[in-house]
């Protein structure tokens, strides 16, 4: 296996960015911290555990969809050598199903995962190397759109971009619309994208998925407080906060909050500042948008993609939507 690591990340100070974002977020009238800070090493490990939990149906449904349709995907894209680009591969469970199918069908492709974590990429590539000695892989260490732009400048091959897991759900509708517009700009006509969207469903199923009975999702959220204690010298007493997920039926968004169970003051050493929390005051942590097919069609049309097909699981909980650049 050939494996290359392209480093296209902009040089920036991660700790400083975390400090600035926490300062702004906890000073706001409605306290908030970006969900991207959930994913340090401990948080990423907890997230991987969530994806295997029975209450978190999303990953299971998407694996079913990919398994049921892998031959079809292979037939659609088989004509010529291509780049199999993946935005945020995670553990690569789903992409491995496709990689295996494409290798069995003797398709000519290079797997190109794009991720901001160099450690994650290196680990993923070494695992893939063991399983598939004949796979060509080139990982790109950068944020998604920058990485795609790098690929556009360095390769003339057709791109098949995987954006799985309903990662798009962390964006609100406006942010998603802008993201798809930029995605379209960084691709060439004929390129494909396969995007995972979690669909609207019974709110009770949603609440359970974001509040699993083994409390892994709670731990995942509490880890953000623990991370601020570790990295920013904060003194959050985690027992005085509770994970509080709600489904907002007006805008189809799961919202996760950490709520302060009592009035308290938290000191953050690196910021040399205290933050006052009222009783039951929330910190907004994450949204996970749930979609309707109509909305997905509008996203595609707005950004200049044609929908090739929508692939769903048997329960119609989740869709992998295959788009092609016009």
Helix (H, G, I), strand (E, B) or coil at 203: helix
User: Binding to ligand AVJ by residue 286, rule CB under 6 A?
Assistant: yes
Which residue, chain included where needed, has tokens 């601020």? 228
Torsion angles phi and psi, residue 110, rounded to 5: -115, 125
Q: 263 phi and psi, to 5 degrees?
A: -65, 135
Please state the closest distance from residue 262 (CB atom) to ligand AVJ, in A: 25
From candidates 6, 48, 167, 173, binder to ligand AVJ by CB under 6 A: 167
CB of 292 to ligand AVJ, least distance (A): 17
Cα–Cα distance measured from residue 92 to residue 21, given in angstroms and rounded to the nearest whole number:
29
Shortest CB 286 distance to ligand AVJ, Å: 6
| Residue selected from 170, 173, 264, 270 as contacting ligand AVJ according to rule CB under 6 A | 170
CB 280 within 8 A of CB 158: no
Q: Which residues contact 24 (CB under 8 A, 6 or more apart)?
A: none
For residue 34, state whether it binds ligand AVJ (rule: CB under 6 A): no
Residues 6+ apart with CB under 8 A from 120: 44, 89
Question: Using only C-alpha atoms, what is the Rg of the chain?
Answer: 20
Closest approach of ligand AVJ to the CB of residue 167, in Å: 5
In the complex, which residue's CB is closest to ligand AVJ? 288
Contacts (CB under 6 A) with ligand AVJ, residues 195-234: 210, 217
Q: By rule CB under 6 A, what string of x and - marks binding of each residue 35-74 to ligand AVJ?
A: ---------------x-------x----------------
Report the 3 state secondary structure along 116-164: CCHHHHHHHHHHHHHHCCCCEEEEEECCHHHHHHHHHHHCCCEEEEEEC
**Binding footprint of ligand AVJ, residue count (CB under 6 A):** 11
The residue (of 35 and 310) whose beta carbon lies closer to ligand AVJ is 35
CA dihedral sign, ordered 81, 302, 176, 69: negative
Q: How far is the CB of 312 from ligand AVJ (least distance, A)?
A: 17
Quick check: 282 binds ligand AVJ (CB under 6 A)?
no
- CB nearer to ligand AVJ: give 69 or 221: 221
**CA–CA separation, 320 vs 285, rounded Å?**
26
**Binds ligand AVJ (CB under 6 A): choice among 69, 211, 252, 288:** 288
Q: Can residue 165 be called a binding residue for ligand AVJ (CB under 6 A)? A: yes
Cβ at position 76, least distance to ligand AVJ in Å: 25
- Based on CB atoms, which residue is closest to ligand AVJ, 138 or 253? 253
Instruction: Please provide the size of the chain in residues.
Output: 326
Name the residues that contact ligand AVJ, by CB under 6 A. Answer: 50, 58, 165-167, 169-170, 210, 217, 286, 288
């Amino acid at each position: 296996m050939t494996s290359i690591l392209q480093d296209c990340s902009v040089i920036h100070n991660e700790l400083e960015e975390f400090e600035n974002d926490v300062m702004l977020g906890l000073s706001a009238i409605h306290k908030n911290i970006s969900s991207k800070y959930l994913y340090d090493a401990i948080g990423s490990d907890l997230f991987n555990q969530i994806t295997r939990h029975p209450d978190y149906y999303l990953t299971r449904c998407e694996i079913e969809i990919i398994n049921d349709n892998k031959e079809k995907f292979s037939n659609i894209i088989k004509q010529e050598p291509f780049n199999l680009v993946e935005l945020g591969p995670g553990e690569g469970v789903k992409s491995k199903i496709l990689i295996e199918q494409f290798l069995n069908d003797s398709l000519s492709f290079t797997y190109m995962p794009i991720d901001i974590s160099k450690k994650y990429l290196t680990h993923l590539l070494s695992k893939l190397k063991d399983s598939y000695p004949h796979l060509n892989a080139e990982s790109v260490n950068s944020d998604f759109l920058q990485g795609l732009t790098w690929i556009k400048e360095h390769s003339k091959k057709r791109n098949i971009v995987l954006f799985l897991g309903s990662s798009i759900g962390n964006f609100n509708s406006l942010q998603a619309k802008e993201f798809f517009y930029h995605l379209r700009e960084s691709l060439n006509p004929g390129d494909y994208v396969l995007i995972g969207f979690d669909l609207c469903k019974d709110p009770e199923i949603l609440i359970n998925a974001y509040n699993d009975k083994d409390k892994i999702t709670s731990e995942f959220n509490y880890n953000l407080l623990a991370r601020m204690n570790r990295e920013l010298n904060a003194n959050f007493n985690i027992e005085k906060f509770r994970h509080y997920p709600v489904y907002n039926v007006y805008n189809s968004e799961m919202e996760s909050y950490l709520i302060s169970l009592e009035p308290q003051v938290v000191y953050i050493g690196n910021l040399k500042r205290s933050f006052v929390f009222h009783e039951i005051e929330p910190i907004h942590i994450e949204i996970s948008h749930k979609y309707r097919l109509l909305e997905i069609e509008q996203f595609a049309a707005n950004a200049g993609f044609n929908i090739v097909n929508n692939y769903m699981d048997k329960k119609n909980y989740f869709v992998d939507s295959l788009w092609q650049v016009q």
